[in-house]
Every structure is written in C-alpha cells, then in structure tokens.
Structure 1
Amino acid sequence: MAKKILSRSDVIFEVIDARIPFETRNSVVESLARERNKRLFIIMNKVDLVPEKFARKVKKEIEKEIPVVLFSAHKGIGKRELENLIRKLSKENKLIKIGVLGYPNVGKSSVINKLKGKKVATTSPKPGMTRGEQLVKLAPNVFLIDTPGIITLEFQEDLAVKGSWIPEKLEQPVEIALKFLSKVLEKRPQAIKETYGVEPSPDPYETLVRIGERLNYRISGGNVDTERTAKKILWDWIKGNIKAYWM
C-alpha cells in the first residue's frame, strides 16, 4: 500500500502523533519517499495534547531532516500554515496529488477533513477505520490521497503502545498496558493522577491495580479485573485522555 501511494503521489504528508512523535515516524515510508525522490513533509498532529514548548522542541529536532507543520485537527492549529504550504506546492504543478500516510490513529483522516472544511474521510478513535484509499479533491488541481494506516513489521505490543492497535484484539492486554504504564511512569507519572485521581506507584502492576480499584472494575470474589482495567487504560491513551508525552 505504501509503495502504491508513493508511486501515485507527487508529495507525501507523513502524519505523526505529537505525544509520541519519534515512535510514530515511519522509517519505511520516509526511506521509500527518499528513494523515489518525493517531497516529504511531516504533519505533527494532536499538538493540542502536548505543551507548546515540547512541540517546538520536537519540531526543531525533526527539521534537521524533514520540514514539519505543527497541527491540531481538533483545534484547527496550523491549518493556515498547512493551507499556505499546499497553495505554494500547487503553483509548482498543473496537477498535484498529496499522499497522506502514517500509522493508524495518528489522525490522517481528521487532517484531511479539517483542510476540506467538512467530513469527507472516515474518522474514529478506533485504529484502522479507513478501509481503502480515498481521493479527496481540495482544489481544482489539488487532490489528497487518504490511506489506511501503514503498519510495518512490528510487534503487536509496540503498535498498541503507539495507539495503533485495538485493545480488544490484543492477546495479552495486561502485559501491554504494563509496558505502556512503565513508559508513562518514567516520562510523566503525574498523568496517572490527572486522569484517574490515584497516586501512581513506581510499580506498573500496582498502578494498574490502583486504577482498577478506583474504576471499581471487579471480578467475582472482589479482586480487580486487571484485563478490563488494562483495556480501559489503552483506550484512554488512544482517545487522548491520558496527557502523557515523550520524545
């Protein structure tokens, strides 16, 4: 799919998640774009979920390699800058097709809808909702190609931490939630208290249990339902309810 879109596109917009910008960069997409001499821009979506200082720091780092537009499809941040970029690109070609690529749930369809000014692409907090490529006319000579999320050869647990895998489809949701919690406890532990109102423990499992107790997720016998709690945590991450971020 990535190769097909790259061959059809004049320009590539790689959409990444501002909360985990380097983890949602796709090295395969970027190298394929370079190999085919395609102009590549990174659209760092969801900047409304991170501090501005953090977003600017990430932008500065990535722009050592690739131009970056800070964007929020939810808040409209960066819309004018992106429109100006597209306008500039369109003046260089009689017809321009822009391939919009990225991992599931980074907000590719939301970016397209914001640029179009109405819903033309399927959006959902559930990763993988775009089933096939869609051609969206933005101007008489400008088309955007919306695509399903590009998943390269990665472990299920890594995709889940990126928010790119539906929690119900995970074989070991508790293990993956613990991996995610370990990262949050290392990078921004206060996000746990902000979201769930519980004091996090240095131990990820104990933190998960405390969250389950607060949510009153129980199994017969009164013990915490760790699997249900794990899925809830992962869904809260996908939906942007947990305000954690890292480089």
Structure 2
Amino acid sequence: MEKPREWLREKSIAKKILSEANVIFEVVDARIPLKTRNKVVEQLAKERNKKVFIIINKTDLVPESFVQKAKNIIEKEHPVVLFSAHRKTGKKEIEKIIKELSKEKKVIKIGVLGYPNVGKSSLINTLKRKKVATTSPKPGMTRGEKLIKLDKNVYLIDTPGIITLEFQDELAIKGSWIPDKLEDPVDVAVKLLEKIIQNRPEAIEEAYGVKPVDDPFKTLEKIGEKLNYRISGGTIDIERTAKKILWDWIKGNIKAYWL
C-alpha cells in the first residue's frame, strides 16, 4: 500500500511564509476549487491570526454560474476574488485589496500559497506586469520562496507548491503531480475519467471526439484507439493514453469541473 508522501519540507516552508507574511493569498483552481483548497495551510494561518484571501484562478476554463457557486461556498469562510491570468480579470479587485492592506501597515508582505499548478506564478506576473515568476504547466516549477517587490512598501512572497500529506493519485487528480512520476498512471487516469464522466462527460467528446461510456477503463481504451496509440502487435498503448489524458487535464485541455 502506497504511503502518503511526507511533507516536512513544505510544512517548514508554509510555516516560514506564515510567520513572514502579513496576509495570505491562497490560489485555487477554478475547475476543482474546493479540492484545491489547502485546509492544513488555512488552519495554520488561522492559528497565527493571518487573514486569508482565496483567489480562484483559471476562471476562463469554467462557466460563470459554476464559479459563482464555488465563490458563495468559500465566502462563508474567507473573502474570495475571481481571477483569470489568461484574461486578466480580477486584477483590479486584487490591486484594490492590496491598496487597502498597505494603508494598515508600513510594509506589507503577501504570501502567495497553493497547490502546484494552480497558477501562483501567473498571478504574481499579472500583478507585477512582467515575468518575474516561472510559469509552466509542469507542476513544481517554483523551487524556493522568493521576495518580489510589487510597490514601494508591498512585497509578494512567491512559494513552491505546498502539498500536504496526500497520496500521489489524489495529487495527480488535482493536477499537482507529474504524470510521468506516477507509479500507476493508468489507475489514476481511470479515476480521473470516472470523475469527468460523473460531472461533465461531454468534456471527453470535446477533447478527443470520443463518446464516453459508463466504464472509465473502456473510455480510456476508446481514447487510445482514437489517438491511435498502439504498441507492437497493434494493441492499445494504455499507459501512454493514460499519461496523455493526465497531461491534458493539467494543461486545461479537458473542460471539466466539479465542486
């Protein structure tokens, strides 16, 4: 039985950021906004009396009605901003929050936290108006925390993705684990397809031109057939198909979403 991965390094980074920052911007993925909230980090922030703003990023990938529903749920606990680095929406609202915060203190440090691949670097680059943080669809591209000057007295703390005590497959479904590093990508892709079939099956047809069936493994085979991924002897290359689906999910090519 696979053990949840240790998160000692991330825990020490999270605690360091939480002690240095006056306020936290937690970035979540609009496609799975509740699943990409890091409750452990939120609890650590609460214990330290640090205000948390939830930035729902990638709102361009989901319908407005869906993201509003997510916002209404999260707002019961924390203020929420709807943001899209791609469309630059929500930028003015975030800048207004920063302006208000900077009135309260001489120097303001904002810790930008979240799972890998939720778009922390894209948020920072949008606010800074230039590329200062590494962006990549590959989870885990930010290596160490960096202090980025936004204004005279305002700093952003860019951090590596904070992963808590979770299993690889859970992280992969959150788009926070590189598919090539998975022990069993097929099993994870089947779990992801199951979620998509339950919540928005048409996303599979939109992405691959394949009508999904109730059985996620059979759907995986159909996608492999459509992509013509084969191994010697002509059988479907299931593992290659599974990794392709997981990468497409990370890159936002599969337009599915759920709470």
TM interval, shorter chain, is over 0.9
**Which residue pairs with 1:183 in the alignment?**
195
Q: 1:221 and 1:211 mapped to 2: Cα distance?
A: 18
Cα deviation for residue 45 of structure 1 reads: 0.3
Which residue of 1 is the match for residue 152 of structure 2?
A: 140
Cα distance in 2 between the residues matched to 1:85 and 1:76: 16
In the alignment, is residue 92 of structure 1 matched against residue 104 of structure 2?
A: yes
Mapped to 2, the partners of 1:70 and 1:106 lie a distance apart of 13
4+ runs of 1 displaced by more than 2 Å? none
CA distance in 2 between counterparts of 1:175 and 1:18 reads: 24
TM-score of the superposed pair, with normalisation by structure 2: 0.95
Question: Displacement, 1:74?
Answer: 1.1
Which of 164, 168, 174 is the equivalent residue of 1:162? 174
| Corresponding residue SS for 1:199 | coil
Cα deviation, residue 91, structure 1: 1.1
What per-residue deviation string (whole Å, max 9, x for no partner) do you get for residues 158-185 of structure 1?
0000000000000100000000000000
Structure 1 counterpart of 2:248, from 211, 214, 236: 236
Q: CA deviation at 1:88?
A: 0.8
Give the equivalent residue in structure 2 for 1:103: 115
Q: Secondary structure at the residue paired with 2:72?
A: helix
C-alpha deviations, 1:216-236, integer Å up to 9, x for none?
100011111000000000000
SS in 2 for 1:121: coil
Q: Which amino acid in structure 2 is aligned with residue 66 of structure 1?
A: H
Partner AA of 2:178 in structure 1: I
**Which residue of structure 1 lines up, in the alignment, with residue 58 of structure 2?**
46
Amino acid at match of 2:64: E
CA RMSD of aligned residues (A): 0.5
Kindly tell me the number of residue pairs found equivalent between the two proteins. 247
What amino acid is the match of 2:101?
L
User: Percent of aligned positions with the same letter in both sequences?
Assistant: 72
- Please, which runs of 5 or more residues in structure 1 have no aligned partner? none
Alpha-carbon distance in 2 for matches of 1:215, 1:2: 41
Q: Which residue identity lines up with residue 229 of structure 2 in the other structure?
A: Y
Q: Of 201, 205, 221, which aligns to 1:193?
A: 205
Write out aligned runs for 1:1-247 (5 A): 1-247=13-259
Cα separation, 1, equivalents of 2:204 and 2:89: 26
The Cα shift of 1:37 comes to 0.2
Which TM-score applies when normalising by structure 1?
0.99
Secondary structure at the residue paired with 1:123?
coil
Distance in 2 of aligned mates of 1:140 and 1:57: 37
Deviations along 1:184-224, whole A, 9 cap, x unmatched? Answer: 00000000000000111110011001100111100011111
Give the Cα separation in 1 of the matches to 2:167 and 2:250.
18
Q: Distance in 2 between matches of 1:53 and 1:183?
A: 20
2:218 is paired with a residue whose SS is: helix
SS of 1:145's partner is strand
Q: Which residue of 1 aligns with 2:5?
A: none
CA distance in 1, matches of 2:59, 2:94: 14
Deviation at 1:62, TM superposition (A): 0.6
- The answer for unaligned runs of 5 or more in structure 2 is 1-12
How far apart, in 2, do the equivalents of 1:199 and 1:180 lie?
Answer: 16
In 2, Cα distance between equivalents of 1:89 and 1:48 = 27
